[in-house]
Amino acid sequence: MTTGSHEAHSTHVVSNQVPPLVGHNTAGDPVLREGVEREGAAWALPEIDELGRLAGTAEAQDWGRLAERVPPRLHTHDRYGHRVDEVEYVPAYHQLMATAVEHGLHAAPWADDRAGAHVARAAKFFAWNVDAGHGCPISMTYAVVPALRANPEIAARFEPLLTNREYDFGLRDPQTKRGLIAGMSMTEKQGGSDVRANTTTATPQTDGTYVLRGHKWFTSAPMSDMFLTLAQTSNGVSCFLVPRVLPGGERNAMRFMRLKDKLGNKSNASSEIEYDAATGWLVGEEGRGVRTIVEMVNMTRLDCVIGSSAGMRTALTMAAHHAQHRSAFGKLLVDQPAMRNVLADLQVESEAATTAMLRLAGANDRAIRGDEGEAALRRIALAVTKYYVCKRAPFMVNEALECLGGNGYIEDFDVARIYREMPLLSIWEGSGNVAALDALRALAKEPHSLDAFMAEAELAAGADARYDAALDRLKKEFTSFDDLELRARRIVEQMALVFQGSQLVRHAPAPVADAFCASRLGRDWGGAFGTLSPRGDLGAIIERALPA
């Protein structure tokens, strides 16, 4: 048989497979770009594009893949038996961290006076979605700054290093480093989200420091330079800054017990630690630790929404790319009516999440700059959006995975990695019930936040009858406060949908807003994605889903 005829009959000729999704700009999503301009950060689009183009390269995608497949390793002792408590990462992890820090995804916006700096940072965090695990220490470093400001002396000492755009890995005296990474260590095995049940103790010393003793159940990124942690004093739960290395270079008495074996988020080391007479500094007042750390929690909550929205968009991009290149039953998948409905429905879900996220990023930016109305809106809209978007993300990514068929279930195609990541963001900083109940507590303690929310919702009134009906249903939920906790998820879900609807009715193209109002608000929708009304302009919606 000739070589040519052998090739013609080879069982290994590859056809009808999809080319790799590389060389695209992850920041090319029109929803992202429109929102960045709307929320006052158009000046940052060149920076966002630069990072988006890097995220679309094969090299950056390989960093994310390798960091996840070769997870961190814990070394409690060196070869001579000395206690070291160090975590070893593959070089790809450090490439990811260095890129994120250099592009200002960490605490850099706190040192940037430009309006929209926090919006720009949110957009870059969204675009740099090649690995979610390293986003955890990046997010915590961003979030630690407002909490540290409760102790001006500590903030003055460390904030310039936390905001500096240089990644300087290694355990050394923090003040000898070029840049710092921060973490958070709150929960304990007996209390979980009920941090007031913590048993870790903090005893004051004559030099103004405290000695901490106790066991923490979840401490992510344990090679960070410093941590905010909660511990009990004689006045109640208090907040402390605990460095890994003390001034002068001695290692603090933080003992790593083990790393968690998680469903996803493998590149991020999550650990159990013990404070064995560790040294810490009080941040804020004794007994007000939960209130002190809540600013950090609010910032990480925003990043949960960003991360969920980014994961949804990335999975959708992969599904749309696959559909553009894969044929079945005589047509490209993207031209098959059933697949078109699925892709359009996924785009509506993604666009609703991303548009709401960017509105919250704008509210966050303006709240930081002193806008009290935006701060009130952020307080409640962020809680309800965190609850709902992070709940929706696993369902949506599951459907996107299914668009790839069996390939979607194979780790080589990366959608499985995104799918395993999605449940974490609903759990992080308080799972569903905690988020829903926190939203209701905000309404009770800060009733002006509901006023701010309704004022935002009313801006879209009159444009779509289905939206108006949903807003009226929501208002009726607040005519009675009986069984409020029993109705917590119902109310918070309705608030999230109204908030998303208000943004889409005002800012999205008509086909997207119409599909959202018909399906999510008007309930002309099935129980699965791909059940939009055939009367909508699905083609116009799908165009917004295609990779840039």
Question: Residue 1: what pLDDT?
Answer: 46
pTM: 0.95
Among 286, 310, 332, the domain boundary falls at: 286
Same-domain check for residues 100 and 180: yes
Mean per-residue pLDDT of the chain? 94
Tell me, yes or no, whether 16 lies in a domain.
no
Same-domain check for residues 267 and 319: no
Per residue in 139-197, pLDDT (tens digit) is 999 999 999 999 999 999 999 999 999 999 999 999 999 999 999 998 888 877 788 88
Domain of 514 in residue numbering reads as 291-545
Same-domain check for residues 151 and 99: yes
Tell me, yes or no, whether 409 lies in a domain.
yes
* Secondary structure (DSSP) of 31-45: HHHHHHHHTT-GGGH
Question: Residue 444: what pLDDT?
Answer: 83
C-alpha span between 240 and 148 (Å, rounded): 9
For 526, the enclosing helix (H) or strand (E) is: none
Tell me, yes or no, whether 327 lies in a domain.
yes
Same-domain check for residues 505 and 367: yes
Q: Which of 302, 180, 171, 281 is nearest to 231 (CA)?
A: 281
SS3 255: strand
Same-domain check for residues 275 and 310: no
Radius of gyration of the chain (CA): 24
Could you say which residues of the chain have pLDDT below 70? 1-9
Same-domain check for residues 317 and 269: no
Among 237, 270, 286, the domain boundary falls at: 286
Question: Residue 330: what pLDDT?
Answer: 93
Q: Tokens for 518?
A: 């018909």
Per residue in 229-262, pLDDT (tens digit) is 999 999 999 999 999 999 999 999 999 999 999 9
For 237, the enclosing helix (H) or strand (E) is: strand 236-243
Q: Which of 336, 316, 312 is nearest to 326 (CA)?
A: 336
Which is it for the CA torsion 437, 438, 443, 445, positive or negative?
positive
DSSP 20: P
Cβ distance 212 to 246 under 8 Å? Answer: no
Angle among Cα 524, 540, 395 to the nearest 5 degrees reads 50
Tell me, yes or no, whether 9 lies in a domain.
no
C-alpha span between 417 and 265 (Å, rounded): 9
Same-domain check for residues 175 and 303: no
Q: Tokens for 390?
A: 């992070």
The domain spanning residue 231 has which CATH number?
2.40.110.20
Q: How many separate domains does the chain show?
A: 2
Same-domain check for residues 97 and 239: yes
The domain spanning residue 389 has which CATH number?
1.20.140.10
Same-domain check for residues 239 and 298: no
Among 254, 286, 318, the domain boundary falls at: 286
Question: Residue 416: what pLDDT?
Answer: 96
